[in-house]
Amino acid sequence: MEGSFVQPREETAAEAIEAISEELGLFDDWEERYRYIIELGRTLPPFPAAWCDDMHRVPGCQSQVWLHAQQEGEKLYFAGTSDALIVCGLVALLLRVYSGRECAEIEKTDPSFLSQLGLVQALSTNRGNGVQAMARVIQKMAKTALG
């Protein structure tokens, strides 16, 4: 199950947010950005079926979303998936920002970047609320790991 966790591509969460912003900026409209986000979801590592249970389910999401965290030293690594393609992409985007980071950095990385990137506004209200709920669960996991 080790291969289920997202490894960081950028050095920091802030760098990941900047890279995502630049990537989304390459597209002229939200239709193209949605396709890109769906493709991101296809890059998620396989999520074990055993974790698709109520213990790992994220409340507040329109679609089914599951997250699992594993702590290694000061860092938290996340695995996640959804039953909806666009939401898998949103999971991939969030995990690119948060997975493999120190708990303190996760806590300090405010999910307002989702609004700043225009994601929350471009999604349906339920999906926008859901992606923010995912970010809150990730931050809560970090806070719990810090004790």
Contact between 46 and 1 under an 8 Å Cβ cutoff? The reply is: no
Name the catalytic one among 52, 61, 88, 103.
Answer: 61
CA angle 138, 139, 144 (to 5 degrees): 100
Q: How deeply is 43 buried, as exposed, middle or buried, from its count of CB atoms within 10 A (0-12, 13-18, 19+)?
A: exposed
**Would you list the DSSP string of 75-114?**
EEEEEEEESSHHHHHHHHHHHHHHTTEEHHHHHHS-TTHH
88 is catalytic: no
The tokens for 51 are 């974790």
* Residues forming the active site: 61
